[in-house]
Amino acid sequence: MTSVPTARPRRLRLTPGLRALSRETRLSPEQFIFPMFVHEGQGDTEISTMPGVLRHSIASAVDKAREAQSLGIRSVILFGIPDEKDEVGTQAYAEEGVVQRATRAIKAALPEMVVIADTCLCEYTSHGHCGHLHEVSGHWTVDNDPTLDLLAQTAVSQARAGADIIAPSAMMDGQVAAIRAALDAAGFAHIPVMSYAVKYASAYYGPFREAAGSAPSKGDRASYQMDPTGGYREALREARLDAEQGADYLMVKPALAYLDVMRTVRDAFDLPMVAYNVSGEYSLVKAAANLGYMDERRTVLETLTGMVRAGADAIITYHALDAARWLKEA
C-alpha cells in the first residue's frame, strides 16, 4: 500500500494568493536603480547593442526619470557621454559637465528622485581607461595614485551639482578613502558612497562600452578590475577594504555570473548590497526574446528575483521600467 505523505509543500503553491502569502523573496520597483546614458546633444540616439536603451539629452533624461518615478522607481544612476575627451578626463569633473548638468536638471524637476552619479573617467578619457594611463613592464595600465585625485575632484563636483550618492567604479586602490576625505572636506559628509567594491574584468560589459564610447584604445582593464577566476578571498578583501574606508553601500558587478560571490559578500558584511545587472546580461535576454527563444517578462523577473535571493537590497538594471510595469500588472 502506498503511504500517504503528511508533509505536502504543494499545499502552499495551489493558487496565486497562497503563493504570495508564503513568498520569501519579494521584488519591488523601489529596489530598482534605473541607469541612464546622458549626452550633450539634442534628442535621443539608439544604442544598437542594447535594444530599447537610448542615449538621452538632458531634457529627455528628466522626462525618463519622471516616467521611472511614476512607476515607483526612486533612484537613477547617470553615465555621461561628453562631446570632448582628453587624456585625463577633464569633463568628468567639470562644473558644467554633462552629468553635473543632468543632475541639476533632474533634482530641480524631481526633488525626491535619488540621483546616483557614476564616478569614473573611462567615458571621458581619449584612451578609454579609468584614469592616468602609463606603461609598466610593457603593459598599459592606470597610474593609481594620481587617478585618486581626479576621482576625488569628480566626486566633489557631482555632489556640488546635487547628486545624492557618489558611486566610484574605477577600481583604484584607495578610491573610497580618497573620495570620502574629499567629500568631507568640501562639506559633503552627509553624501553616501556606493562602492563598486567587487567589479570583475568581464565580457558582459561589451554593450555598455558601445553605448558609452568607452572601449580602451590600447590594453585592457584586467590590470585593475578583478580576475573572474579570483575566487572569494579576493572579493572579500576588496569589500573589506572599501568598508573600512567608509563605503556606505557595496556592489557586485556583474551580477548574474557572480551570484555566489554576492551571497558570500552579503553574509560577511552588514552594509546594503547592490547588484549591477549589466549591459551584456540585458542584451542576452533581449536578443533571445526578440528571436522568440524565451519569454522576456518571465525571464527578467526570475533573474531579478534571483539577485534579491542572493542578497541584493537594490539592483541597477536596464530592465527597470519594464520590470516595474510588469510588477504593477501582477
Active-site residue set = 199, 253
| Cα 317 from Cα 154, distance rounded (Å) | 24
Q: Quick check: bond before 207 cis, omega within 30?
A: no
Q: In terms of DSSP bridges, do strands 54-56 and 165-168 run parallel, antiparallel, or are they unpaired?
A: unpaired
Residue owning grid cell 546594503: 272
Query: Are 170 and 149 in contact, with CB atoms under 8 Å apart?
Result: no
- Which alpha helices (H) appear in 4-97, and where do they start and end? 16-21, 58-70
Residue owning grid cell 547628486: 163
Annotate 75-88 with DSSP letters as a single string.
EEEEEEE-S--BTT
Dihedral of CA atoms 320, 168, 281, 290 in degrees, nearest 10, equals 50
Q: How many CB atoms lie within 10 A of CB 309?
A: 14
At residue 17, φ and ψ (nearest 5 deg) are -65, -45
At residue 263, φ and ψ (nearest 5 deg) are -65, -40
- Residue 37 forms beta bridges with which residues? 55, 79
